[in-house]
């Protein structure tokens, strides 16, 4: 966590490290469960508000995450290979992306916990806090941190210059968060996959 870019590049280049998928699954599942189930229930109990926990959203978003990786990674690989100066194998790039998404989930979990801590502090001190503004600020800071991390890791991985790495990252972010993930979420929601799986799993 102290040197995330160095760690991600080291693990990507280490042929003996093969736990990237379990790392991704653990981090994403923990983040989604925290945001969609645990924190809503805790807030509901502490602040006497409606319980908005949604276990089906955990499944929906995890499915979307994996499908999104499968769609975006090949596109990103060929663009990165064209723009970079270092030759990399497709599987090494898959490893980089999987580890990067897992790290992004860790950052998002940290932001959610910080939001929770803000709520607890406001409750204890009786401070009037604009929770919407706090959440928006934390979400923006997390987004900037993730983009900076992705740009730095791709610069190292591909041997890109900073301007190219930043442009590449912003392009990937726009494709991911504006096009691919919203479309996938709409499709998965329409198919009701999350609710069906949640009922099946109890």
The per-residue pLDDT for range 12-55, each reduced to its tens digit, is: 999 999 999 999 999 999 999 999 999 999 888 877 778 889 88
pTM for this model (two decimals): 0.90
pLDDT tens profile 94-146: 999 999 999 999 999 999 999 989 888 887 888 888 888 999 999 999 999 99
Q: How far apart are CA 161 and CA 164, in angstroms?
A: 5
Instruction: Give, to the nearest 10 degrees, the angle between helix 55-83 and helix 131-158.
Output: 30
Q: Sorting pLDDT into bands at 50, 70 and 90, what band is 199?
A: low
Q: Sorting pLDDT into bands at 50, 70 and 90, what band is 80?
A: very high
DSSP 53: -
User: In total, how many domains does the chain have?
Assistant: 1
Looking at the chain, the whole-number percentage of residues with pLDDT higher than 90 is 70
Tally the C-alpha atoms within 13 A of residue 119's C-alpha that lie toward its C-beta.
Answer: 19
Q: How far apart are CA 194 and CA 188, in angstroms?
A: 8
Average pLDDT over residues 72-90: 97
Q: How far apart are CA 142 and CA 69, in angstroms?
A: 20
Owning domain of residue 150: 4-201
Residue 197 has pLDDT above 70, yes or no: no
Record the tokens describing residue 111, joined without a space.
């932001």
**CA-CA-CA-CA dihedral for 140, 144, 145, 147, to nearest 10:** 130
């Amino acid at each position: 966590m102290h040197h995330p870019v160095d760690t991600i590049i080291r693990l990507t280049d280490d042929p003996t490290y093969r736990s990237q998928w379990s790392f991704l699954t653990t981090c994403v599942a923990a983040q989604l469960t925290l945001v969609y189930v645990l924190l809503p229930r805790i807030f509901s109990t502490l602040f006497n508000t409606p319980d908005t926990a949604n276990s089906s959203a955990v499944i929906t978003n995890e499915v979307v995450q994996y499908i999104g990786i499968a769609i975006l990674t090949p596109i990103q690989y060929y663009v990165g290979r064209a723009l970079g100066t270092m030759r990399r194998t497709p599987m090494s790039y898959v490893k980089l992306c999987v580890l990067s998404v897992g790290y992004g989930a860790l950052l998002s979990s940290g932001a959610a916990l910080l939001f929770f801590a803000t709520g607890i502090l406001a409750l204890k001190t009786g401070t009037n806090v604009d929770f919407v503004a706090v959440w928006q600020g934390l979400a923006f800071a997390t987004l900037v941190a993730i983009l900076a991390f992705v740009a730095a890791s791709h610069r190292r991985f591909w041997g890109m210059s900073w301007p190219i790495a930043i442009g590449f990252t912003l392009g990937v972010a726009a494709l991911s968060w504006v096009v691919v993930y919203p479309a996938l979420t709409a499709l998965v929601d329409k198919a009701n996959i999350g609710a069906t799986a949640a009922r099946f799993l109890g």
